[in-house]
């Protein structure tokens, strides 16, 4: 089996790596402290075609394949994990469902400017009392004439503070569970939509997470994505792609932790020698490197599968589960290798440790990934 990247993928990797090193990395620590949404980072990424990577060129995208997307998100996240998830949301959670389920008018109106990076997209599924159980939505959608009225609250909305447009999930009747859920394309300026409290988070601090309040938000009927009752299907299909993006983000964070640890361990002296010469440290580094490589291959397989097969839940959940947990282990060991300095925010591994944790939670917790994997491997042929 040939694991070599194509010439185009190699060129993309080198281009994004250089951009991330020169532009994103020097800003990352300051943005982490200020918690300011990195609009300039997003615009610079748009110039490279990173905002709608898998969207065809006819709709404003770059027309890349899934493996190329993983490569780019890894490189961006290695330098700035917040920028990595901002791109992942716009690509996977906003552009992808409109490309797959939207009609031609919706694609022209919404997909094109977001794929070009002229606008920022967000995804509104989670609610204060509804996270992993996505069928238990309480945000209501009521049809009245030529529009829907949405009422409810969404939380943890990445990109929310800066987003121009949201894919919002609401139910016609909570008693219908998944059968009553609908997806809507909602503009920031629609009457009845407002921003609630910002989320002050442990890590990924500048990704603009905020509560979205829908108080009778008026949405034109033509902004229904798909058909009534199809929203749960759209949400689950979208999350399959989103999990690939988070796997790539996790790989980038883990790789940064390894690189910081390699540099530190070769410069730090203890007991008359470099700490890199101690077997205890070498084993940590070896485990980190091995798990990063394994995670990357799982992410590549998941991306390839999504490009070539409609059903890819098993592959995407495996990639997200392994990559996120490998990321957390790498970040933890990075702090341990740095000793007391790993606990100081002047050192990069402290931020990486905080950024790593969320990869085990959003886009489906590790526990949910294990449920999905178990369901798939127990499925009768």
CA distance 310 to 89: 20
**Under a CB-based contact definition with an 8 Å cutoff, are residues 319 and 304 in contact?**
no
From its phi and psi, is residue 284 left (phi > 0), alpha (psi between -120 and 50) or beta? alpha
How is residue 348 written in tokens? 């990069």
Contact between residue 132 and residue 138 where contact means Cβ atoms under 8 Å apart: no
Q: What are phi and psi of 217, to 5 degrees?
A: -60, 125
Ramachandran angles phi, psi of 139, nearest 5° = -65, 125
Using DSSP, state whether 142 is helix, strand or coil. strand
DSSP 3-state of 130: strand
How far is 295 from 302, CA to CA, in rounded Å?
A: 11
- Residues tagged active-site: 363
Check residue 63 and report its DSSP letter: -
What separation in angstroms does the CA of 217 have from each of 167, 192, 235, 344? 13, 4, 20, 45
């Amino acid at each position: 089996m040939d694991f070599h990247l194509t010439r185009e993928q190699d060129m993309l990797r080198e281009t994004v790596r250089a951009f991330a090193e020169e532009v994103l990395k020097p800003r990352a620590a300051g943005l982490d402290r200020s918690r300011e949404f990195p609009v300039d980072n997003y615009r610079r990424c748009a110039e490279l075609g990173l905002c709608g990577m898998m969207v065809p060129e006819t709709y404003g995208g770059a027309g890349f394949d899934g493996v190329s997307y993983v490569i780019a998100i890894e490189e961006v996240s290695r330098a700035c994990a917040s920028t990595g998830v901002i791109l992942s949301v716009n690509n996977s959670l906003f552009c992808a469902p409109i490309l797959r389920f939207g009609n031609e008018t919706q694609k022209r109106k919404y997909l094109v400017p977001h794929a070009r990076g002229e606008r920022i997209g967000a995804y509104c599924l989670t609610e204060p009392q509804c996270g992993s159980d996505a069928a238990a939505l309480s945000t209501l959608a009521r049809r009245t004439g030529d529009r829907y009225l949405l009422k409810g609250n969404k939380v943890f909305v990445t990109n929310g503070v800066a987003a121009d447009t949201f894919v919002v999930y609401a139910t016609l009747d909570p008693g219908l569970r998944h059968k009553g859920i609908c997806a809507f394309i909602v503009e920031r300026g629609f009457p009845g939509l407002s921003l609630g409290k910002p989320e002050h988070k442990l890590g990924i601090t500048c990704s603009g997470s905020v509560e979205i309040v829908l108080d009778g938000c008026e949405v034109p009927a033509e902004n229904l994505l798909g058909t009534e009752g199809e929203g749960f299907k759209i949400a689950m299909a979208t999350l399959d792609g989103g999990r690939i993006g988070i796997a790539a983000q996790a790989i980038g964070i883990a790789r940064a932790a390894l690189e910081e640890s390699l540099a530190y361990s070769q410069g730090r002296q203890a007991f008359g020698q470099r700490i890199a010469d101690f077997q205890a440290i070498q084993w940590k580094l070896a485990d980190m490197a091995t798990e990063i490589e394994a995670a990357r291959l799982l992410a590549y397989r998941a991306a390839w599968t999504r490009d070539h097969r409609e059903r890819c839940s098993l592959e995407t959940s495996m990639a997200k589960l392994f990559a996120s947990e490998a990321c957390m282990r790498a970040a933890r060991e990075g702090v341990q290798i740095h000793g007391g300095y790993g606990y100081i925010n002047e050192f990069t591994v402290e931020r990486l440790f905080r950024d790593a944790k969320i990869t085990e939670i959003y886009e489906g917790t590790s526990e949910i990934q294990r449920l999905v994997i178990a369901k798939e491997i127990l499925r009768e042929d």
